Amino acid sequence: MTTLKVPGRLFGPGLAAAGVAVDATIDVFSLSLSAPDGERLTARLDAIELRRAGFDEAHWQFGWQDGERRWALLVSDTPTLARLEQQPPAALRPAVEALVGKRRRDTRNRRLGLSAVAFYLALPALGLIALLLAARPLSGWLAGFVSVQKEAQLGDWFFDQQKAQLKLVEDTEANRAVEAIGQRLTTGSAYRYRWYVTRDPSLNAFAVPGGIVVVHTGLIEAADSADELAGVLAHEVEHVEQRHSLKAMVQQAGLRLAVAVLIGDLGMAGQAAGQLSGLSFSRDSEREADTRGLQRLVSAGIDPDGMLRIFAKLDAGHGGQAPPAWLSSHPAVPERIRELERQLADGPAGRYRPLDIDWNAVQASLGS
Amino acid sequence: MAMDIIDYKIYGNDMQFVEVELDPGEAAVGEAGAMMFMEDGIVMDTVFGDGSSQEKSFWGKLVGAGKRLVTGESLFTTVFMNQGAGKRKVSFAAPYPGTLIPIHLPDVGGTLICQKDSFLCAAKGVSLGIAFQRKLGVGLFGGEGFIMQRLDGDGLAFVHAGGTLYRRDLMPGETLRVDTGCIVALTQTVSYDIQYIGKLKSALFSGEGLFYAVLQGPGTVWLQSLPLSRMANRIVMAAPAIGGRSQGEGSLLGAGAAGGLLGGLLGDDE
């Protein structure tokens, strides 16, 4: 390259503020141009200060000092700039390399900055996703702060409200059987269990936080032995022991709070009260109650086969219809039975002591 | 691009309007809602986009209109064309107290970058685009946001901003530190950056914010002495109806309800 013609705008003393269009020439040693008044301006290339200029930094500014006068040539012609960038004259090379390096750094910093801003804007959404993913361990951890006494109080309050709708059966052979099986299952528990039987033909039983277990008479009538009832009780006891209700409550309240923080208040207080009674256990909770219930039966010396039988009965009993409430959340009953069978096969064979209960007397005592 | 050369006259001191004289067949584009009056023979037409070129494809117009929307202008511009026989006048008024300046685009290198929403009117043919601020820090803290308006063409454009407008020509390398928010317009060759104010104490208590805007020449900048938001803030602070103080209206009894009441009884001139 011998000489390069550089179209640009010249700024300097005595010139218009918007600059004057000129054609400069860059050769091996210098940049030269004719000022509008005819004066010949020349600057040595190694004395030129080169930087990007302008609102969008699209211009290259060649600046030089000429005595007291300071001149600047602004070039925005793309082909010329590309040519200068690729094949700069040797004397201009350090300045061009510095400019290109700075441009690269600026671009990188801008990307970093934009990513940071994007991250900041996306933070609430990310937080919500993280919260949803961690909801279960988090609610378990939070539930750990609630004492057993508090939980029992909560359960009592809840049960008192429900009591009016239940037709409790008292002082029958069935009550004593439920109590006896329950005692055997919950030996050494931190909870003080209370056992109730309610007159209701549906195949159901439910647990209230703090140790209240309610069995429907329909379940006792459908069960063919005390072992089968024990299977259901073990499942319900695990809902209590694993504090599933409490965790579900904490989880719901927490999620509602998170949503309220992110999106705005959606009448939280009113909804929270309404939701208490509608609590249902998650699929994971049900599975956990199954697995641990099975273990509980084994360690209490009760034949876990009863649990499988009552599950099968429930499945068959209302073939195709909706499963009863205590089995309602999703894992399909056959799937749960298979899972339990697998676990039973894997576990060590237990030594079982039969339950000392006259099952016929129990069923007869309900006198349906 | 065929530009219309227009004659104009600016009226008023602090709340100005500009009267533009159009020869037969000439046209001016105005910001929607800025028109104050027009004489017989001037026909108003609303066009989608900036009206700078009628040959653009529909898609091109749509993009142009979208750009206008981003810069705070409306989707449509109004074109005022003189279809009469002689010279006719149309006038455009500034929307709030401030100064109106005519800028002849060829004098500033053909392109002017200005504050959002500062465009008032121009000769037909001036195109309105956006100038996107590529520097993140300047966009966030420079006081003008990421989007500014870009006026291109070789005609006359009128720009309006609050308070008094000050034009400053910057020599190569000359820098000016400006309170963020006071920049109205700059030519394309001016570098616009921000600078941390320097001391934590100043940043917190000087009332100037955390950053200066730094403008470096060569080129020309226009600054406003009173950004609208600053005036609006003072007005709101002083508005009694929304809990402000009746500042500067104190009678002998002082400011407040009593003063206001007495003032109302004694000196209601309406």
Range in A239-248, A253-262, B4-13 the model is least confident about: A253-262
pLDDT for res B157: 93
Nearest to B136 among A16, A72, A113 (CB): A113
Q: Does B41 touch chain A (CB under 8 A)?
A: no
Structure-token match 């876990």, residue found: A304
CATH topology of domain B7-231: Double-stranded beta-helix (3.60.160)
**A241 pLDDT above the threshold of 80:** yes
Q: Answer whether B201's CB lies under 8 Å from B209's CB.
A: no
Strand order, beta sheet including B175-179: B175-179, B211-216, B191-196
Whole-angstrom distance, CA of residue B175 vs CA of residue B190: 10
Work out the minimum CA distance from B87 to partner chain A, whole angstroms.
32
Q: Answer whether B183's CB lies under 8 Å from B223's CB.
A: yes
* pLDDT confidence band for A368 (50 / 70 / 90): low
Q: How far is the CA of A315 from the CAs of A231, A308, A321, A323, in angstroms?
A: 15, 11, 9, 7
Closest-CA residue of B relative to A21 is B109
* Backbone CA torsion sign across B141, B67, B192, A4: positive
Helices within chain A (DSSP H only): 78-86, 93-133, 135-143, 148-163, 173-185, 217-222, 226-241, 244-263, 268-275, 283-299, 305-317, 333-346, 359-366
Q: Does B132 touch chain A (CB under 8 A)?
A: yes
Count of C-beta atoms within a 10 Å radius of residue A147: 9
Q: Does B191 touch chain A (CB under 8 A)?
A: yes
Mean of pLDDT values over A145-154: 85
pLDDT for res B265: 45
**A30 pLDDT above the threshold of 60:** yes
Residue A186: closest CA among A245, A137, A235, A113:
A235
- Note whether A53 contacts B191, CB cutoff 8 Å: yes
pLDDT for res B17: 95
pLDDT for res B166: 94
* pLDDT confidence band for A79 (50 / 70 / 90): very high
DSSP string, A44-66: EGGG-EEEEESTTS-EEEEEEEE
Work out the minimum CA distance from B170 to partner chain A, whole angstroms.
7
Q: Does B175 touch chain A (CB under 8 A)?
A: no
Count of C-beta atoms within a 10 Å radius of residue A349: 8
Mean of pLDDT values over A136-149: 81
Vertex B205, ends B204 and B208: CA angle to 5°? Answer: 85
**A263 pLDDT above the threshold of 60:** yes
pLDDT for res A118: 92
Work out the minimum CA distance from A116 to partner chain B, whole angstroms.
11
Paired tokens of B263: 């003032």
User: Cβ contacts of residue A164 below 8 Å, gap of 6+?
Assistant: none
pTM, to two decimals: 0.66
Whole-angstrom distance, CA of residue A157 vs CA of residue A134: 29
User: Cβ contacts of residue A96 below 8 Å, gap of 6+?
Assistant: A50, A84, A85, A88
Range in A23-37, A223-237, A315-329, B5-19 the model is least confident about: A315-329
- Note whether B189 contacts A9, CB cutoff 8 Å: yes
Class of domain A4-104: mainly beta
Work out the minimum CA distance from A262 to partner chain B, whole angstroms.
24
The residues on A that touch B, with CB distances below 8 Å, are 9, 11-13, 16-19, 53-57, 59, 61, 63, 70-72, 74, 109-110, 113-114, 117
Whole-angstrom distance, CA of residue A223 vs CA of residue A221: 6
**A281 pLDDT above the threshold of 70:** no
- pLDDT tens, residue order, chain B (270 aa): 455 667 899 999 989 999 999 999 889 988 878 899 999 999 998 887 666 665 567 777 777 777 777 766 667 778 899 998 899 999 999 999 999 999 999 889 889 999 988 889 998 888 888 888 888 888 888 888 888 889 998 889 999 999 999 999 999 989 999 998 899 999 999 999 999 887 888 777 877 778 889 999 899 999 999 999 889 988 888 888 877 665 555 444 444 444 444 444 444 433
Domain boundaries of chain A, sorted by first residue: 4-104, 139-366
Strand, coil or helix: A41: strand
* Backbone CA torsion sign across A100, A67, A76, A4: negative
The residue type of B64 is G
A194-198 and A212-216 strand pairing: parallel
Mean of pLDDT values over A139-153: 83
- Note whether A55 contacts B169, CB cutoff 8 Å: no
Q: What is the ipTM of this complex?
A: 0.75
Range in A329-338, A345-354, A356-365, B32-41 the model is least confident about: A329-338
Structure-token match 């000092």, residue found: A65
